[in-house]
Chains A and B, each alone.
Chain A
Amino acid sequence: MKRNKVAIAAAAALACCASGLVAPTESASASSAIFTSIDETHPITLGAPMNPYNTKGNSFDSYDQMELGYNQYNGAHPDAMFPALAATWKTVRGGLDVYLQAKADWSDGEPVTSSDVKTSVANSFIVGTQASNLAGVTVLGPKEIRFNEEPGTHNSLFAAQVLETIIVPNSEYGALLPSDIWSVISASEGKGGAAQKAKATLTKLAPTVEDYAPKTDISAGPFYIARLNAGEALLVKNKYFFDASKISPEEVVLRNYTGNEEIWNYMEAGQLDFAPYTSMPSNVLHDVLRAGNKELVAPSFVAVALAFDEARYPYGIAAVRKALAYLLNRPAITKVGEPVSGAPAKWQTGLIDSVSAQWLPSSELSKFNRYNYDPAKATSLLKAVGFTERSGQWHMPNGKAWKITLATPSGFSDWDAAAVYMSHELSAFGIPTSVSTAPDYATYLTNIANGDYATAFWLNALGPAVYNAYARVWGNNVTSKGNELTTKGSFLHTPATFKTDGYGTVALNTLTEGLEDKTTAQARPVVAKLAAAYNQELPMITIWDYVLVEFVTDKHFTDWPSSPGLLNNPPGLWMWNGYVHAK
Chain B
Amino acid sequence: MAVTVIEPGLGATGTRRPRPPGHWQAARRALLREPRRVVGAAIVVIFVVLAVVGPFLYPRHLAANANSIYAPPSLVHPLGTDFEGTDVLSLMVTGARYVLVSGAVAGAIAVVLGALVGLLAGYLAGAVDWSLSRITDFALTIPQYPLLVVLAAVVRFTSPVLIGVLLGVTSWPGLARAVRSQAFSLRERPYIEASRSLGLSTRHVIVREMLPNIAPYVAMNLLVSMIGAIYAETGLFFLGILPTSNVNNWGAMLNQAVFSAGAIGSPQAISYLLSPLVAILLLTLGIVFVLDAVDEFFNPRLRG
CB within 8 Å of B: which residues of A? 259-261, 264-265, 268-269, 280-284, 286-287, 332-333, 335-336, 339, 408, 410-411, 413, 416-417, 419-421, 423-425, 427-428, 434-440, 443
Contacts and interface: CB of A to CB of B under 8 A. Distances in A.
Given A417-B84, A421-B64, A439-B152, A280 B246 contact: no
The 9 closest A-B pairs by CB, nearest first: A437-B243, A413-B260, A283-B268, A410-B243, A332-B66, A435-B246, A416-B245, A268-B265, A284-B262
Interface string B54-65: 000000010110
B264 A261 contact: yes
A419 B245 contact: yes
B83 A336 contact: yes
A348 to B, nearest CB: 21
Nearest to B157: A439
A332 B65 CA distance: 9
A282 B81 CA distance: 14
B28 interface: no
A66 B33 CA distance: 74
Given A417-B260, A419-B245, A420-B245, A284 B66 contact: no
Interface in B238-263: 240-246, 256, 258-262
A410 B240 contact: yes
Contact of B262 (A281, A420, A423, A440): A281
B262 A280 contact: yes
Contacts of B144: none
Contacts of A261: 258-260, 262, 264-265
B266 interface: yes
A439 B66 CA distance: 26
25 contacts: A260-B262, A261-B259, A261-B260, A261-B262, A264-B266, A269-B265, A281-B260, A281-B261, A282-B70, A283-B269, A284-B266, A287-B262, A332-B66, A335-B69, A336-B64, A336-B66, A410-B244, A413-B259, A413-B260, A416-B244, A420-B84, A423-B246, A424-B61, A424-B63, A439-B152
A435 B245 contact: yes
A287 B267 contact: yes
Given A281-B69, A282-B70, A339-B69, 12 more contacts: A265-B265, A283-B268, A284-B266, A287-B262, A335-B67, A336-B83, A417-B83, A417-B260, A420-B64, A421-B84, A423-B246, A443-B153
A259 B259 contact: yes
A335 B265 contact: no
Contacts of B262: 260-261, 264-265, 268, 280-281, 283-284, 287
A414 B42 CA distance: 40
B248 to A, nearest CB: 11
Contacts of B264: 261, 265
A565 to B, nearest CB: 30
A443 B260 CA distance: 21
Given A265-B265, A280-B262, A283-B261, A421 B256 contact: no
B189 interface: no
Interface string B217-252: 000000000000000000000001111111000000
Interface class of chain B by DSSP: loop
A435 B64 CA distance: 15
A477 B67 CA distance: 39
B19 interface: no
A72 B229 CA distance: 53
Given A265-B262, A287-B265, A428-B61, A281 B245 contact: no
Interface in B17-50: none
Nearest to B241: A439
Contacts of B258: 261
B240 A427 contact: no
A283 B70 contact: yes
Interface of B: 61, 63-64, 66-67, 69-70, 83-85, 152-153, 156, 240-246, 256, 258-262, 264-269
Contacts of A408: 245
Contacts of B70: 281-283
Contacts of A416: 244-245, 260
B153 A413 contact: no
Nearest to B156: A439
B69 to A, nearest CB: 7
B245 A410 contact: yes
B153 A437 contact: no
B246 A336 contact: no
Given A410-B244, A410-B245, A424-B61, A283 B266 contact: yes
Name the residue in A280, A435, A437, A443 with the highest tally of chain B Cβ atoms < 10 Å from its Cβ: A437
Contacts of B241: 439
A393 to B, nearest CB: 13
Nearest to A439: B243
Contacts of B66: 332-333, 335-336, 421
Name the residue in B69, B241, B258, B262 with the highest tally of chain A Cβ atoms < 10 Å from its Cβ: B262
A488 to B, nearest CB: 28
Nearest to A283: B268
Contacts of B268: 283, 286-287
Contacts of A280: 262
Contact of B240 (A339, A411, A420): A411
A281 B269 CA distance: 10
Nearest to B268: A283
B84 A336 contact: yes
B64 A264 contact: no
Contacts of A436: 246
A443 B153 CA distance: 9
A5 B153 CA distance: 47
B19 to A, nearest CB: 44
A423 B246 CA distance: 9
Contacts of A427: 61
A405 B108 CA distance: 33
Nearest to B61: A427
B64 A437 contact: no
Contacts of B246: 420, 423, 434-437
A112 to B, nearest CB: 43
A437 B244 CA distance: 8
Contact of B243 (A265, A425, A438): A438
A424 B84 contact: yes
Given A281-B69, A417-B83, A435-B246, A424 B152 contact: no
Nearest to A414: B260
